[in-house]
Structure 1
Amino acid sequence: MHLMSRVVNRWRLMQSAKRIIQPRTISSTCNLNEESTISGHVKDTAETVIIGGGVVGTSIAYHLAKAGMKDVVLLEKTELTAGSTWHAAGLTTYYHPGINVKNIHYYSLKLYEQLEAETGQEVGLHKCGSLRLATTPERVDEFKYQMARQGWNKADQWLISTEEIMEKFPLIKADDILMGLWNPGDGHIDPYSLTQALAIGARKYGASLCQSSPVHAMAQCEDGSWTVDTNEGQIKAKRVINAGGFWAREIGQMVGIDLPLVPIHHQYLVTSTIPEVAALKQELPVIRDLEGSYYLRQERTGLLAGPYEHQDKMALCDDWYDHGPPKDFGKELFQPDLDRISWNTEKAMERVPVLATGNIQSVVSGPITYTPDILPMIGPYQGLRNYWCAVGFGYGIVHAGGVGQYLTEWIMNGEPMYDLIECDPNRYSKWTDRTYCLAKCRESYGMNNAVGYPKEERFAGRPTYRTSGIYDLLKTRGADMGFHAGWEQPHWFALEGDDAGYKPSFRRSNWFKPVGREVDLVMNKAGLIDLSPFGKIKVTGKDAAAYIDHICANNLPKIGMTNISHMLTPKGRVYSELTVTRLGENDFMCITGSGSELHDLRWMEKKLHEGDFDVTLNNKTDDLACLGIAGPKSRDIISKVTSTDMSGKAFKFLHIRDLEIAGVKVKAIRISYTGELGWEMYCDKNDMKQLYTSLLEAGEEFGVGDFGGYALNSLRLDKGFRAWGSEMTTDQNPLEAGLEMFVKMDKAADFIGKAALHEIAAKPATRKLVNLIVDTKDVDPEGNESIWHGDKVVGMTTSGCYSYCINKSIAYGYVPVELSQVGNTLEVDLLGEKCTATVESGPPMLVEIARNRQKKKQ
């Protein structure tokens, strides 16, 4: 009989009579008593009420109280750690494939290192390091890709050889391992003891932690505060934070919101003593065998293995999604199902053969909560005042410390301490329905260890209802779609003879030549692009002009005109970029990026409530479609289907006009992110197909065609256009980002961030955004790569791509001012190769208007 079969059968015999399986024994000592963690009574008032006593909620209580907030109350339904915390495997890692979440991990681990000294409570932190294993060339590329993005970050992370892997993990079978990714500060921690240490700290600094205190109802008061009903009475709170774990969706439903959270069954097994493990003089590092899709670590003198089974085998709690968790479910577990993880466990035994010799001491099968993209939802929620989320933690142990700090800084200081847009709760909306959530969470769990490519797309749950009206038509014309906040938008078009389909790579892939064709189309003829995912927010009311003047750093546009405006934080950092169009004296349309729609609307709502403005905000994103047309022939094409004078004198740059095109009423703005002659045309979504097909027909004689987001990105970088989320975020101020022309520091209105900007301007700048030409072959920069000068990392790229206009790779990046001189030579890390990068005086190309002015002067 196969080893795995013997192990499974032995386990079944041992546990056949048991319904609930207890997790491993807690490895550290808890010195808490009841009085140190539980307040005597629920208070009548609180500044902040935190709902949920898992490791995340407890960390938030600890950080808020330590920062000096008075009247912090945590309400736990049963007891601290109930839910997902108590049975977690406790892995801690500095690694994260994204960028901003690395900050969360870094702070967490540094906090956990000193928490015992601060609180007197052992936390069971094991800093044994961790190894990710590469056994395929694609995985090697992924490791090099991640290393290129790690250099400008804080934590140590190295690539190591097979021989070094065997030295660190002598029990491993390494004949097929090509490379390892080594994080020396990683390890694992005891989740129960960690939570209790945070609880001791929270209590020490004045927070009240109330166990056996379920929340029954909540309601918002007119002043934005909350009433929270518990068994012991009602609390009046300035704000509430939902940290409810797998109860978070039900907590959200109390106030009319539907959070896209799905509890998932996650299993891991723990062995009894294995002699070879017991004989080791040093603890084994955690390994993550990515092709086998499992993690494995030492647990005392045995081993712990936790698989992520394939999406066709994994189990999610769709009944919980529909009806909520069982009323009394707290410190219970599911019945294990070893058949589901048999393939992964078999791979683990092949990789670490001694695993097969150990008896299974316990199997833990418990709920963890996933969002559709795995990332948590952290921050204030749009549409509700003073309602904060800290939910959706598939990896709550390593996130807890950093999330507590992040939310505390935001709540106490009025703005986030750094950009974390990928975890914004407002990246989701009503398009995340049941079908989408279940399909996406299944996909995300099942692909937990899949290779993470640049320009990655995943296809479960798509499309949602968010299509522009020409989705099917664009598909027939070869559109390769990307997913943007629920919308489908073409990235590029495969025409006859092209290699069609999604084919991810760390190098130039099948989209490369078609995108060049689309760039050429826009530069020499005309192209159409679906821009419907733009966020579209109408601002009206008698104080609309004063309100826009207050929240935006640019001057107000004149009636019938548009400008680029930025909303800044009080500290003078870039919160958002808007295209502001003035339709009337107090009638504005604000356009923002697809991923920023509710992110920006929430900020606008908050600033509206803080001021005394008679203003109405109306989100028109789902109602209006947008079709872009750009290129030297675009004016000729539109002129064929409208009676409006489209000449340069009659329809000037940054002006808006009402047009009728083939019977469709259109608001057309003369603006294009390509930097070429072009218009954005807004119409009712139901009229989009008529508008699109009429322009296609009219443009046939001019060679009109389609282009997608990849070509648009290349064209905007050619012209030096910044992008929010890349060149500008809350990590940058507009002066270092080169946005001076859009920021009117001396305008009369006291716009948000004005005072801070004057302070920033009075000090010497320390870094600057520069244009780079990068000498590379088939790997183009895309952003977040480390920039080197000599043997030192000096900055990072923000965006990059291949410029089809100059046939070279280009990038934008932040470097110290002293290295920003034109002609200076730096290096950009691309897949492990340091490629020469030269600082340029500006972008490769002038925008169309500037080029025409040059021609006239000549």
Structure 2
Amino acid sequence: MLRLAGRAVRQVGYLYEAAPWRLGSTRVATTGLDFQAGDPAEMVIIGGGCVGVSIAYHLAKAGMPRVLLLEKSELTAGSTWHAAGLVTLFNTGINFKRIHEYSLKLYEQLEQETGQAVSLHLPGSIRLAFTPDQVDEFHYHKTRSRWMQAPMEIIGPERVLELCPIANVDKILAGLYTVRDGHIDPYSLTMALAAGARMHGAQLQQKTPVTGLEARTGDGWNVHTPQGIIKAKRIINCAGFWAKEVGKMAGVEHQLMTVHHQYFITSSVPEVAALQREIPVLRDIEGSYYLRQERQGLLIGPYESKETMRLQDDWMENGVPSGFGKELFESDLDRLMPHVEKAMEVVPVLKDAEISRVVCGPIIYSPEPLPLVGPYHGPKNYWVAVGFGYGIVHAGGVGKYLADWITTGEPPYDLIEADPNRFDAWATPHYARAKASESYGMNNAVMYPKEERFSGRPTYRMSGVYNILLDKGGSMGFHSGWEQPHWFSRPGQEPSYRPSFRRTNWFEAVGRECKLVMEKVGVIDLTPFGKFVISGPDSARLLDSLCANVVPAEGRTVVSHMLTPRGRVYAELTISHLDDSFFLITGSGSEFHDLRWIKHVVAGGFTVHVKNVTEEQGVLGLAGPYARHVLRRLTVEDLSDSAFPFMSCRNIMISGRPVTAVRISYTGELGWELYHSNVDTLPLYMALMEAGKEYGIGDFGTYALNTLRLEKGFRAWGAEMNCDRNPLEAGLKPFIKMKKDADFIGKRALTEIKKAGLQQKLVFLIVDTDDIDAEGNETVWYEDEVVGNTTSGAYSFTSIQSIAFAYVSTALATPGQTLHVELLGKRYPARIVQDPLIPTEARRKSERYEARLI
């Protein structure tokens, strides 16, 4: 036994068998249906951890026949068997709360369904705050959870002590208490899911490694195993820390890192043994560790800093050693001692506790702390569910999510934060290593609005003006590998990232930039946009089927939306018709998300060529009342309203360089987006700046752009619209052409939605705040009832007030209606007004013209 008091601790060597406290067993077939002959398997799941087995369970339960799971060694081998088993409703995201909620509900009834014990404990959990910022974070998360039905309660030190009598609460300011949280035995959970999968007809085959993957001509896969070749319509990579090798077999490079995660369990502690009830799981934000009761002892799992944590680098280079399954790494308790000492301050009984068991096991991180979940944009019918740093709590919900997607043909709700297509070649091994270290080390860091993390940056995705914008005071944000200015500091001011839950150092700068665009002229780097060229004989027919708006005539641009079959907003695009091709633009975070969907539809029978030109082309946006004056100095083209009207596009020369100019601006002001070869970005930028000197030209960033688009009532994909929303409730009716001849995807569903009537509508709010503005996903109240949520918000520098978009019930969606928006624990009065708050430049010009006619 090893005492924790003092730092004289020994290393614990390798363990080679499943830890003896793991309980439960079930018989899992190694033979059965012959998938080497006859009809191919509908789905082959590669990997038998809790996530893979959950997917098998949910697919089989949904009625999918011939579901086969292949495990190279034994179920739970890899990361599952040694996990600490924490389950919680808490998540800093929004839709991942749905994943967690479903998992907990499933785990509560799984034993009754399958007859297999899962050893689920639900003593609750408490996140501990020691600083005012951490208390602010609790309020931030609480208001973002009310409308998601993930109940949390902020409690004081006295209540913390009542729930956890062995805690020292002297320095604790507050706790975020979640009643239904706890922990589960991962081995037993996986065996229960396996039993359920077999009950519903799935086959789980152990000791069957996948040795090769071969895409069949036309459709499907040949899955090579030592027992022979299995034909599959689809495959899903759930291979944990073997996922890189499986990906390579399919021709995909997944940047996944194996992390050494350590925790230890004490022997029986008298004070713990004397407790009347199990203590809640404690999560210490300051000390960066979790602590829970394990029988009559304690289990403590620290998350070390990025400087001290360990990655299994050689696996990144050389792959996982053959035969590695239920092994552990050698532990290093010295790395844990700073966290253990913090834990001793909060739970003093640890000082005299003795270690009975140490676990240092491999867990997997993507470059971000979220997994890769869904279909991949490269090989057809290749799906992934990999990179789970928190696989136990995610397993149930992700299994259900993917089963619904696979069986219905579209995601049941938006989960783009876990989209496997959010990374591409720019996410190099160097980047993945740096980000995985950062994500693990900041696992318990305070999560701020507008969060920025800087490891691994910049990548090679830098526009031609990156360095000059940096020198001019640009505070850079990260957008799918690109660096893009969020705001610009004044000369002598440090453009530093100062996170806060309230208005911070960027606030005044954003006001200056909004004024610049509204009164003069500004330039913004929009290079991170996703850009696709679609050409070929079926191009127009494809877009007519793919998008809800009409196909633009040559020389024209439209804003259009790709809908899912059930009528949800999958994506928003601008489509420009140039010569014999179409130019499609999407947001930076949607590049491969949208490209995958387009190619999926193309595969249904369209003769077109789709080319991704995102990295080949730069984009500069020019906006403001003097935008036309600036461009006229650089081109011979007629830029008048009659010759170059709003929402038109053409190929022109600017400063001697070829440019595709689109008369559009997300600011809602007079402007153009200028698309060009990336080698021309810097000279074009310099030419614009020189030509605009006498008009007071300047730079503006994405924060000002967001404020300006909100003032104009422009919706944003990922905020006001996504796969959770239909375009009618989002106020997108002008872009949905129900009467066009083409039977576009989602049209029939929209007809039914319209017939049934809307339950919620998007409204525009003026919010009476002080030093804080809505960010999105805050709770909206009517009297004492939760009635909706914000989607985005900002301070309007044009109208001098705080504004926000929000979804509320249709019964309340009336201009003049008073509501309240909850921000950091306080409810602020909010009034619904008709959007847009500020008319666009085109609308203002039209109104002035109409007034003259009158």
Same fold (TM over 0.5): yes
Pair 1:230-2:225 in alignment: yes
Report what 2:141 is aligned to.
146
Report what 2:625 is aligned to.
632
Pair 1:592-2:586 in alignment: yes
Report what 1:692 is aligned to.
685
Pair 1:259-2:240 in alignment: no
Q: Deviations over 1:642-672 (max 9, x none)?
A: 1111111111111112221122110100000
Identity %: 55
Q: Deviations over 1:378-435 (max 9, x none)?
A: 0000021111010000000000000000000000000010000100000110001011
From 277, 292, 295, give the equivalent of 2:287: 292
From 791, 797, 822, give the equivalent of 1:829: 822
Distance in structure 1 (CA, Å) of the matches to 2:808 and 2:683: 48
Letter in 2 for 1:589: F
Q: Secondary structure at the match of 1:341?
A: helix
Pair 1:337-2:321 in alignment: no
Q: Secondary structure at the match of 2:111?
A: helix
Superposed, 1:478-627 pairs within 5 Å as 478-584=473-579, 586-610=580-604, 612-627=605-620
CA contact (8 A) 1:297 1:305 kept: yes
Superposed, 1:374-773 pairs within 5 Å as 374-584=369-579, 586-610=580-604, 612-773=605-766
CA contact (8 A) 1:23 1:364 kept: no
Report what 1:190 is aligned to.
185
Report what 2:195 is aligned to.
200
Q: Secondary structure at the match of 1:361?
A: strand
Q: Deviations over 1:501-545 (max 9, x none)?
A: 111100000000010000000000000000000000110000101
Provide closer, same or farther for how the CA distance between residues 760 and 303 of structure 1 changes in structure 2, counting only shifts above 3 A. same
CA contact (8 A) 2:729 2:762 kept: yes
Q: Secondary structure at the match of 1:502?
A: coil
Report what 2:81 is aligned to.
86
Report what 2:161 is aligned to.
166
Q: What TM-score results when the alignment is normalised by the length of structure 1?
A: 0.98
Q: Deviations over 1:758-811 (max 9, x none)?
A: 111112211110000000011100100000011111000011000001010000
Distance in structure 1 (CA, Å) of the matches to 2:402 and 2:830: 38
Distance in structure 2 (CA, Å) of the matches to 1:821 and 1:615: 45
User: What is the deviation of 1:565?
Assistant: 0.5
Provide closer, same or farther for how the CA distance between residues 719 and 752 of structure 1 changes in structure 2, counting only shifts above 3 A. same
Letter in 2 for 1:703: G
Q: Secondary structure at the match of 1:270?
A: strand
Q: Secondary structure at the match of 1:218?
A: strand
Q: Secondary structure at the match of 2:593?
A: helix
CA contact (8 A) 2:144 2:777 kept: yes
From 798, 801, 816, give the equivalent of 1:805: 798
Number of positions where the alignment pairs a residue of Structure 1 with one of Structure 2: 848
Structure 2 unaligned segments of length 5 or more: list them: none
Provide closer, same or farther for how the CA distance between residues 8 and 409 of structure 1 changes in structure 2, counting only shifts above 3 A. farther
Distance in structure 2 (CA, Å) of the matches to 1:577 and 1:40: 45
Provide closer, same or farther for how the CA distance between residues 510 and 319 of structure 1 changes in structure 2, counting only shifts above 3 A. same
User: What is the deviation of 1:244?
Assistant: 0.4
Letter in 1 for 2:650: R
Structure 1 unaligned segments of length 5 or more: list them: none
CA contact (8 A) 1:22 1:364 kept: no
CA contact (8 A) 1:224 1:385 kept: yes
Q: Deviations over 1:477-498 (max 9, x none)?
A: 1100000000010000001254
Letter in 2 for 1:33: R
Q: Deviations over 1:225-280 (max 9, x none)?
A: 11100111101100000000000011101121111210000000001111111111
CA contact (8 A) 2:238 2:385 kept: yes
Letter in 1 for 2:529: F
From 208, 211, 216, give the equivalent of 1:221: 216
Q: Deviations over 1:609-666 (max 9, x none)?
A: 12x2111110000100000000000100010011111111111111112221122110
Q: Deviations over 1:662-698 (max 9, x none)?
A: 2211010000000000000000001100000000000
Distance in structure 2 (CA, Å) of the matches to 1:77 and 1:375: 25
Distance in structure 1 (CA, Å) of the matches to 2:650 and 2:583: 13
Report what 1:790 is aligned to.
783
Letter in 1 for 2:527: S
CA contact (8 A) 2:795 2:801 kept: yes
From 838, 846, 853, give the equivalent of 1:845: 838
Distance in structure 2 (CA, Å) of the matches to 1:34 and 1:540: 51
CA contact (8 A) 1:8 1:338 kept: no
CA contact (8 A) 1:26 1:190 kept: no
CA contact (8 A) 2:14 2:327 kept: no
Report what 1:301 is aligned to.
296
Distance in structure 1 (CA, Å) of the matches to 2:411 and 2:264: 39
Q: Deviations over 1:343-365 (max 9, x none)?
A: 01111112111112221001000
User: What is the deviation of 1:193?
Assistant: 0.2
Letter in 2 for 1:255: A
Distance in structure 1 (CA, Å) of the matches to 2:347 and 2:727: 52
CA contact (8 A) 1:7 1:359 kept: no
Q: What TM-score results when the alignment is normalised by the length of structure 2?
A: 0.98
Q: Deviations over 1:314-348 (max 9, x none)?
A: 00011111111111110000000011111011111
Distance in structure 1 (CA, Å) of the matches to 2:663 and 2:305: 49
From 364, 377, 389, give the equivalent of 1:369: 364
Distance in structure 2 (CA, Å) of the matches to 1:381 and 1:764: 35
From 76, 82, 97, give the equivalent of 2:71: 76
Distance in structure 2 (CA, Å) of the matches to 1:801 and 1:383: 38
CA contact (8 A) 1:41 1:232 kept: no
Moved more, 82-91 or 353-362: 353-362
Pair 1:50-2:45 in alignment: yes
From 86, 93, 101, give the equivalent of 1:98: 93
Which stretches of structure 1, 4 residues or longer, exceed 6 Å deviation after superposition? Answer: none
From 173, 179, 184, give the equivalent of 1:178: 173
Q: Secondary structure at the match of 1:215?
A: coil
RMSD of aligned Cα (Å): 1.3
Distance in structure 2 (CA, Å) of the matches to 1:389 and 1:348: 37
CA contact (8 A) 1:24 1:270 kept: no
Moved more, 623-632 or 320-329: 320-329
User: What is the deviation of 1:853?
Assistant: 1.5
Letter in 1 for 2:603: H
Letter in 2 for 1:606: H
Superposed, 1:109-120 pairs within 5 Å as 109-120=104-115
CA contact (8 A) 2:85 2:184 kept: yes
CA contact (8 A) 2:282 2:292 kept: yes
Distance in structure 2 (CA, Å) of the matches to 1:506 and 1:313: 29
